[in-house]
Structures are given as structure tokens and as C-alpha cells.
Structure 1
């Protein structure tokens, strides 16, 4: 039977819920000497122990009645609904990853929401249920990945706490409990910091690549238990987190390391407190030569957006109302907002890439409201195979400079009492950008592309046949999937960006000429490549590309 032991126990959750005992923090296991140049990003699993097949959607798929409802829940999930993941889907996903990917990747980024939504008044969530679901998934992630030497880096989601969205400054009981649940994942050196705020860093490739896991609850404007990073409140938990992040980035930069920044709620004016957003953008651009990228979940749909230097200017009156900025809408209108923002980018040849960062938002495992998905990223490990990593010497940047303040009125505005204590008026550290950095050009540790896998709608509804994940699309050029001997060292399966066995037969045999699986044909996932794609999507004449982007964004849901 394909159910894993821990989550099979959860099938009898109504009778007896298991709780994980308090554990001492463990140091993370060392990485395997052989690098594959791949990692997994998985997010928003939302397991629901009350889910029942053939139930009504209006009951959150918890009860058979009312029978008159036309749409009934599927055995493996109910796509394009507000129902959460049945345990059958959770087990199916983790078992698929265990069988197909656990031995093919170097680390896992796991960005939160591992409990069901509070969408059924007859069965309200409890803190104990949230802890039990998170504990069960943590045990599975430990068994599938960590025990094979694959680091796992989790982040706290807004549905992993109770009340929903509300988390007070730490230390507190919730953070203390997660320090136990995630004891196998949080390095001992980060334990005290984690106990204060549920954020931490992990060196997934020692002395080379780190992941910083942020607690976005302290930045999220739905959390009314915090102050929103106001300059006059240095002890606000959001400010304390950014102070810590600044030290982390300085330290990693001094050591010549590269960093991924991850978390649950993506950074945007529509999601973050205004002052928290300013601090995030400023640090992201100040340390652009150190940050490889930004990976988030929460939104449940597939998209990317840009952090821009212009966000650090004082907005005009027209920019302040009403807020429809990127990611401010959960689903409605997001596509239009994105393509309009992309359309405002400078023309090719007139773009200063120092001014940009890229946020990637991955779709969810839960089919709420779209289809179950996960991503496999690849990154450049040239000259870093078999544990023989060649340390790249850090050269002094020729591009240190102050912020592009723009708009000659900023100096005057910062003299006014209304603005003098805004972070926009306080942030004046030099930026560190370098066109040779891995975030800007394809070199060691640069992100190269990703493959996105999903479960089609018809496969979720069929209870008689176990569904299999299918490739949805790739960001690469087609020829990159079959590297030649001229540009790789040695031979073997792991030289391929995506193992051939995980690709459709047509791609394995190299006879695909259409753009079915390769709509974007990106050379890599560096900032110039993303800005180039955004510029194309911003062009109304690129109607076919726009349709594909929207199709992937909403998994083909015609109502979005």
C-alpha cells in the first residue's frame, strides 16, 4: 500500500491524534559529497484529516450532504474549489517525491501552510490540530529527505498558527513548539535566534550556499499583533528580523557565499506593511550580488514579479489609491496587474539591472483553488562536482553606489515631519551589485531553470486509478535538456538539468519541435533573463506568450 506510515496514522485522526514529543535541537546532517545541481520547492500542502470523497463542496468537502449539490469532492482532491488536501493526496505527493526525486536533489525549500484552512464552522481548527499536522509532515520530510543527507528548510505559514494570521512577538508558545517540531531542520547555531522569531539560516552547501528562511508573519499586513516595521519602533519584531537579516547578508557576503531568501507570504506592497516592504526591497537590492533569488508560496498560483528601485521612492498620490499592486489580489486581477507592470519596464538596452530583484511564487500542492504542483529547480555546479568545490574569490565590486532616489523632491520630503521617520529617508548604505555575480550572469551557483509538475484535474477525480504527476512546463530552451559532451565534464544522468526519466517520451527522444513544454526558452534564471521575459509579457503584441503565461498562472481555470 502506498501510504507512508506517519500519514497513514493520520487517517485515524478522528479517533486518536498523535503528538510529537518535545525534542532537543539537532544539528543538520552534512550534505552528500556529490552535488546534483537541483533542489525542490514545495509549498502549501494543507492536509485535511476531515476530507471525505463524494462530499459537498459547501461543507469544505467534509460531509456528504447536501446531496443536491452538483459538484462532489474527488478521491485525491477537488480542483478549482475551496477544499483542502485529502490525506490520500498528501501521501501520494510525498511518496512520489521519495521515489522519484529524493536521490536527485541537493536540498528542499518548504515554504509553509501545513495545516488545513479554518473554513468549516462545524469543525473549527485548534492549535493542537495544527501542531499535529505539522509534526506529521515534519516526520515525513525528515524520513524522505534529511535521513538521505538532503537538508530541508521549512518556513512558517499563516495557516500554521492560531489564530489565523496572528503571531505576537517572540519568544512565545507557538514559536517554542515549532522549535521542537522542526528541531531536525534548524541548525543548533540558529536555535536561539529561531526561538526569538522563527527565522534562521542554513548552509545547504557549507561555505558556499545558504538559505535564509524568513518569518513573514512579522511582515504580513494581516497580522495585527505587530507594529509593521515603523522606524520609531526598533523593537518591533519585523524590524528585529530585518536587523538580523542585514547581519546575515553582510556575513555571507564577506565569506563570499551565495544566498536564497525564502518564506511563505511573498514581498509586495499588497501583502507587506509599507515600511516592511521598503526594508525588504532595500536589503534585496543592496545585497543583489549575494542573493540568488527569492522563493515564496501562499498565493497558490504560479507567477513572478520584480522588486524595483523605484519602490524606494515616495509614491505619488495616484500610486497610493487604490492598492492593486502585484500580489495584492489572491486571484482576481493579478494577471492584468502583472502584465501592466511589466509593460512599464524600460526598453531593452536602457535597463539598469542593478535596480531589480526577482520574486518567484510557486503554485501549491493543495488543489485550492488550482491543481497540485511542485517545482524542481536546477543551478550551476560547474567545477563543483563530486565535492571538489573551487572557491570563487570575491573581487571588489566596481558598482558600489548609493540608492537611486529619483524624483528631486525626495530630499525636501524627508525634511517634513510626516516623512522624516520613514525608512525611505533613513536607508543610505551603498549597494553591492556586480554584473558578474551569479544572480546576474550564468556562473557557479546561478539558477538555471525549473521544471514544474502537476496532477491534471481528471486524474484527481478518479478513485480507481492512482494518479501520477505530469510535467506541465519547463523554463529552459529545448536544446539545454540534452547537453552535449562539449560543455560538460564526464557523462552520466546527473549532467542533464532534468533526469531524462522524469521527462515525457517526446523530449527524452529529442524529437520535440513545438513549444508545448518550453514556452519561455530562457537561457537561465538570472535577473536579466527574468527582466527580458517580463518585457516580452508586457508587450500586448505577444498575445500567444501572454496566453501561455496566464494558462500556467491559473492552471487553465477559465474563471480566473
Structure 2
């Protein structure tokens, strides 16, 4: 017997006895929790959220953006694609930027527990003269896994990807599973050691446990997305979206019963920054009602897709027992929003792809017994792409820290409701900063 471990275990036991933890069930739960935390997992309470890499292996520096940065123009003045990408064009991400992103993460974030990746690893299929093949799509997924294997220790840091709308063989098209993409991804993602059960093979979604008190539900938003014309809406009994919603409700119900908190991670948000519904009508309604109903166990909701840094709020109508959702952009009429009824906040992260300045996020979450998984803060890092191309080096800096920018102690629904109330104040400085950060405009 390892006497040092035996001694520590007894010290934990004695600690709870002297703390007055006499109720047998509460005693057992806390004892198991702390024993598991000490012996099985070394958790730092930090994770990264990155999204929309869109790595393009055919990107050409000093090429013409009108050719999606794939070809040079005979007119030299038009060849303006920078080493690290070019802003506000349809060009995707060059290796120089993706390499810089992973180098920065490896050098600065060794003390993280996991990485959430909310989709779109593969380049867009915009260039009619250079159409993507199925092999190129699969190579894009392999490249992402190779990045993670190269830059992180997967035995210590869990990497959890979700499917984006450009990660399929055809843009915005994904048939009901099982299908060739899911079977290929189950092999490509094998080094990630994910919990890819039959739910993934049939639907592209999976649950990953981080701790016995905390899980990440990685959804396949393509089965809700209204631009995916291969599928029926969620008012059809056996549609792909309906089956995913049923799975999600079972997972949320189990989490509530087990007093286990969850994050939801997926690519496409229910609404974009203009408050346009991005899901098919029935899927949208049912999804919002579901996350509203189980908002007590959802302590984080992460998406990408829009390339923008935005917030969306789920609010409760207690009289009608229904939930609504709205997103904030620079033109939103804030006075119409009831801040007292916020039950859940959805955070949409900006992309690495340089539609705007590239960005990633570092989150901090609680590892205490009663608040495990509750988000405490995040730091957003960005690259000034104009500067990077001028000096030939991508320098990652802090754009803002949520707690300081918005005056928050934590990132719960009540905390965000207070921020929303502050947004509504005349000449609100926090609202000005929010609007500025939507397009990753720097500190």
C-alpha cells in the first residue's frame, strides 16, 4: 500500500468530518469529488476556445485577393495578399498565420485542461477554378489533428472539435448519418481519444466528460442549419435534427439528475449578430426552448461561424413558460430587452481566419465542488494583421479581458444580465467597447 496516499485520503476524510459534513449523501459526494480531483486529474481551471481556422494550403503571398489568393494578377498593384493573410476579403488562412497561432498557444498555454474547437478547419470552396475534392476536405481535417499532435500533449490536454458548415464534402450539405464523412472522421480523429460512440457515427455529435462533475456536449449544428437543404426540419419525427435534440435533452436531463454541469459547443449559433435565425424554424424553436429549460445546468455555450465577437441572451417568459433569444449588434435597440429575465448567455467567438483581425480566447472556470465548470473570466488575444504583414511577424496581444472590460466577477447569467443593463445606460462606455470588439478592433 502507498502509505502517503493512504494518509492523504484519511486527511480528506478527517477534514470533512470536522467541517460538519454529516449528511451521508453530501459527505460521499464531496469525498469522492475531492479524491477524484487529487488522484485522477490535475485540473488547472483553464481552457482555450478557437474557431474557424480555414487553413488554405494553396494560399499565395503577394497574390491577388480577387482570385481568393490562389493566383497572381498581371497587374502588380493588385497583388496585395500579405504573409499572414488579408483583411475583409474572401481569402482564407495561410500557413504563416495558422503556424503562428499554434506556436503562440503552445508557448503560452501549457496550463490548460482542454481546447474547444468550434469548426471549419477546411478552406472554403469559393474558387470555381480550383474546386475542392473530397480528399482535400479530409486532408484539411487531418491537418488539424496533426497540428494538435505537434503542438500539444494529448495525454494531458483534450482537444474537442465540432463540425462546421465548410467541413463537409459539399459546402453547407451534410446528409443524415451514418455517412462517409462521419466514418472517415472517426478514423481521422482517433488520435484525439474522444468518446465517439454510435451517436457520432449516426449524427456527428458526442459527449466528452472532463470530470465527473462536468461534461462538454459537442453538437452537429449542420443538422439544425437551415442552409443544409438535404434534411427535413425538426417537426419531422425521425429527422436528423429531431434525433439530435432528443439526444441533447437526454444528456441535459441526466446532467441535472447527476448534478453535473455542461458546456455546449457547436459551429453555427442559433442566431447571428443581426438576430437572424440560422436554424430551420422548428429546430430553432425547439432548441431555444430546450436550452432555456435546462439553463440551470448549462454554464457555457460556445459557437463560431460568423467571424464576429458577439453575445446572445436567452430570456424567460415565466407566464407563458417559454423562452426567447436575441443577439446584440451595434444597431440593436437595447431599451426593448428585459434584463431581469436572462437565464443563459451564448458567446460567439471571432475566427482565426482574417475576415477581421485573428483572435483566440483563454477561459478560466471554477474547479470548486459546488461551482465546478462555472465560467469565471476570459481573455481574448488577437493579432493586428496590418502590423504583422508590415513587420513580417505576427505578434499576439491581449485585446481585452472580459471581467475588466465589462466589470464582472464571473460569467454567469446574472452577471451578464448586469452587463446588459449597463449597456442600456446613456453613453455607456461598456456598450462602446462591446461594439468595438465585435470586429476585433484591438484594445
TM-score by length of 1: 0.67
Gaps of 5+ in 2: 1-37
Alpha-carbon contact 1:56-1:67 (below 8 Å) kept: no
* Alignment map for 1:254-269 (pairs within 5 Å): 254-268=257-271
Alignment match, 2:175:
168
1:522 aligns with 2:408: yes
TM-superposition CA deviations, 1:473-500 (whole Å, max 9, x none): 0012xxxxxxxxxxxxxxxxxxxxxxxx
**1:453 corresponds to:** 381
Match of 1:240 among 234, 239, 243: 243
Task: Indicate the SS of the match to 2:192.
Answer: coil
- Aligned match of 1:210: 215
> Paired residue for 2:7?
none
The 3 A distance-change label for structure 1 pair 70 and 139 is closer
Larger fraction in helix: 2
Matches within 5 A, 1:2-41: 33-41=41-49
2:393 equivalent to 1:466: yes
Superposed displacement of residue 184, structure 1: 3.0
Post-superposition Cα deviations, 1:179-202, rounded to whole Å, max 9, x if no partner, equal: 1111233535x4211100000000
Cα deviations by residue, 1:370-422 (Å, 9 ceiling, x for unpaired): 0111000001124xxxxxxx5x5xxxxxxxxxxxxxxxxxxxxxxxxxxxxxx
- CA-atom RMSD, angstroms? 2.5
2:90 is matched with which residue? 82
SS where residue 41 of structure 1 aligns? strand
Q: What's the offset of the Cα at 1:297?
A: 0.5
2:63 corresponds to 1:52: no
Is contact 1:307-1:357 (8 Å) kept? yes
Contact persistence 1:187–1:202 (CA under 8 A): yes
Residue 31 of structure 1 deviates from its aligned partner by: 10
Q: Is the 8 A contact 1:446 1:526 kept in 2?
A: yes
Tell me the equivalent position of 1:380: 366
Between the aligned partners of 2:378 and 2:277, the Cα distance in structure 1 is 27
Residue matched to 1:515: none
User: In the alignment, which residue of structure 1 is the partner of 2:349?
Assistant: 362
Q: Deviations over 1:288-344 (max 9, x none)?
A: 2211121000010101111233599799xxx9xxxxx956xxxxxx7245x32x432
8 A contact 1:76–1:461 mirrored in 2: yes
> Secondary structure of 2:338's partner?
coil
Partner SS for 1:174: helix
Aligned residues: 400
Residues 190-226 of structure 1, C-alpha deviation per residue, up to 9 Å, x if partnerless?
Answer: 4211100000000012x11100000000000000011
Contact 1:308 1:357 in 2 (8 A): yes
Q: How many Å separate the matches in 1 of 2:438 and 2:315?
A: 22
Higher strand share: 2
Structure 2 residue 420 is matched with structure 1 residue 534: yes
Q: Which SS does the other structure have where 1:470 is aligned?
A: strand
- Aligned equivalents of 2:203, 2:153: Cα separation in 1: 23
Work out whether residues 343 and 535 of structure 1, in 8 Å CA contact, stay in contact via their aligned partners in 2: no
**Equivalent of 2:291 in 258, 270, 284:** 284
1:52 Cα offset (Å): 0.8
Taking a change above 3 Å as real, the CA distance of residues 235 and 247 of structure 1, as seen in their structure-2 partners, is: same
In the alignment, what sits opposite 1:415? none
Change (3 A) 1:373 1:311: farther
